[in-house]
Chain A
Amino acid sequence: MKKRTYRNPVGVSRFTGLLLISPFIAGFLIFTLYPFVCSFVLGLTDYNGNTTPEFTGFENYINLIKSEDFRNAVKVTLKYAVILVPAKLIFSLFTAVILSLEIKGMGFFRTAFYIPSILGANLSVVIMWQYLFTSKGLVNQFLELIGASPVSWYGSPDKAIFIIILLRLWEFGSTMIIFLTSLKNIPKELYDAAKVDGCGSIRAFFSITLPQLRGVIFVNLILQIISAFQEFNAPYMITSGGPLKSTYTLGMLIYDEMFRYNEIGAANAVSWLLFMIIAAAVAVMYIVSGWIKRRDEK
């Protein structure tokens, strides 16, 4: 094998770089790899924190797949992600496209849209959101003002999840900013050329903007998928998973197994299954985006 040469300034050894990144290497081992492996191992045991863990093979996984709670949590989490992620991406992209027209007051709009996503995970905002959707809360008062009938948000299993979806949609700002930055990097000449060819703005969007943004759409998609599947704070604080467990996400199930039922083995098994679901979703997105890229380049 050919010996690799390291391109470094004179007098700098190839270990200087390694030394500099050593905090990351140590951090990766301690805070990513170790818990990841540990989680898998614990998932194969029966362990309540006091006794020594007892190896039980895949029993936790089998019990989970059989359990009503787990299947419900998977359904809730999937439903939540499948509605939220596309809605958030499309809305962010749409708003970014409008903002990228030469708009007066751009700074104001950008800040106004960005603030909720900065504060969004703050508990204060979560509490505020809880008030907005109470039976006499702001949302229902507005509905009454426009003549619609008030909705019992917390009472009905198919509406409660939308309290949380709307909260996360309200926080579309950071996703939008990433789109906005990339939109500005698309060469103007592409649009000028399209105009000369008699291409309308909607066509230009689909044949120039979207392909140019392919990379950043993918990044945003992955980030949103990962955070949607982990949702915990909002259902925990706002709906406590109810009514009838209709907002009981996998994140909540992990927390309950761990801290409510002391089933550390089962909690880690759920963590691992959640990880597999996320990994599968990311892999599918990766394959699909590769497929679209090849098709576009033809």
Chain B
Amino acid sequence: MIKYLKKRIIAYIFLISVSAVMLYPLLWLLGASFKSNEEIFSSVGIIPKSFDFSVFKAAWQTVTPYTMGHYFLNTFKIILPKTVFAVISSVLVAYGFSRFDFPFKKLFKALLLTSMLMPSIVTIMPMFLMWSKMQLLDTYIPLTIPALFAAEGMFVFILIRFFDAVPKEFDEAARIDGCGSLKTLVFILVPSIKPAIISIAVFTFLWTMNDFLNPLIMIQSVEKYPLSLALRLSVDSTGQSYEQRKIIALSVIGLIPSITVFAIAQKKFVGGIATGGLTG
């Protein structure tokens, strides 16, 4: 019994210290946004001496002619179509793989796996040249259109797992009632795989929020920058007169959408990847 307790205590000490390392930097960032420049580099505490919200107002104005609101809007102009495209295309493709038999099915499934393993850094330069030839650089098309083509193989695999878990009798009953393939999908199957669809939408949201390399390469005019590029621009201009604490405040602002979405979807979402398994 004592040995068992000892083990427990060590386990908790370990878990609590890891959580501290995980969360402390984020909390520090939040606290630091209220601190003065000197205080940022002189205390390890989270809670600032005084709360000064004016820095957020100043940071919101950014160093560019546009406010952060403008960059948020730009980001959502990318995220919204991308999420809709990704969900629709991945659901259709996964439905095809899970419920139908067709020529070269095994080959296509293997290709799906291969596309997941293809490092994006190998393909991104030719893609840049392709979009530039089509004169579509500096638009959101290179960032959103690939999602129409089930570009994330992982999403398709998660969905296939969920489709496979729905009994085939459901489809058969629907067919007897006169539903075609598409109607069966929309009315019978989609409601049963909702958690997976939510996971995909949330992942697309978070990954697009995080994406840096793609916009860096494809978007040139400041007016069209998404949040990540606007942040980089502010950092790059720190050297002149931009204060550290403004950058920190900007970073905090930049994290708000992701944290909000994660908090709302947290339960379903972690459950979704858990069931989807990602496992081979």
Binding site for B on A (CB under 8 A): 4, 6-10, 12, 14-21, 23-28, 30-32, 34-36, 38-39, 42, 49, 95, 98-99, 101, 103, 108-116, 118-125, 127-129, 131-132, 134, 136-138, 141-142, 145, 170, 173-174, 177-178, 180-182, 215-216, 218-219, 222, 226, 229-230, 232-233, 237, 251, 254, 258-259, 264, 267-268, 271-272, 274-275, 278, 282
Jot down 5 A-B pairs with beta carbons below 8 A, ordered by A.
A16-B96, A24-B156, A119-B210, A121-B210, A134-B41
Stretch in B49-57, B191-199, B253-261 with 4+ CB within 8 Å of A: B253-261
B102 and A39 contact, CB distance less than 8 A: no
Count class of interface residues, chain B: 35 or more
Say yes or no: is B188 at the interface (Cβ < 8 Å to chain A).
Answer: no
Closest to B236 in A: A237
The answer to whether residues A98 and B11 also contact, given A24-B156, A34-B126, A123-B212 and a CB cut-off of 8 A, is: yes
Q: How far is the CA of A114 from the CA of B22 in the complex (A)?
A: 9
Q: Give A208 to B117 CA distance when docked, in angstroms.
A: 29
Q: Separation in Å of the A169 CB from the closest CB of chain B?
A: 10
Contact B122 A271, beta carbon cutoff 8 Å = yes
A39 near B210 (CB under 8 angstroms)? no
Which of A8, A32, A39, A124 has the largest number of chain B CB atoms within 10 A?
A124
Q: Output the least CB separation between B165 and chain A (Å).
A: 14
B252, A23: Cβ atoms under 8 Å?
no
Q: In the complex the two chains form, is B115's CB within 8 Å of A233's CB?
A: no
Residue of B whose beta carbon sits closest to that of A226: B119
Closest to A20 in B: B96
Cross-interface CB contact of B93 among A6, A24, A95, A131, cutoff 8 Å: A24
* Contact for A27 among B28, B44, B150, B270, CB less than 8 A: B150
Report how far A215 CA is from B124 CA in the complex, Å. Answer: 30
Q: Does B264 lie at the interface of the complex (its beta carbon under 8 Å from any beta carbon of A)?
A: no
Question: What residues of B have a CB within 8 angstroms of the CB of A35 in the complex?
Answer: 122-127, 130
B42/A122 in contact, CB under 8 A = no
Contact B151 A31 (CB under 8 A): yes
* C-alpha spacing A23/B15, complex, angstroms: 44
Among residues of B, the one whose C-beta sits closest to the C-beta of A106 is B15
Q: Does B69 interact with chain A (Cβ within 8 Å)? A: no
A168 to chain B, nearest CB (A): 14
CA distance A24 to B155 in the complex (A): 12
Closest 10 pairs (CB-CB, A-B): A27-B149, A20-B96, A17-B100, A17-B102, A35-B126, A124-B251, A35-B123, A121-B210, A38-B126, A136-B41
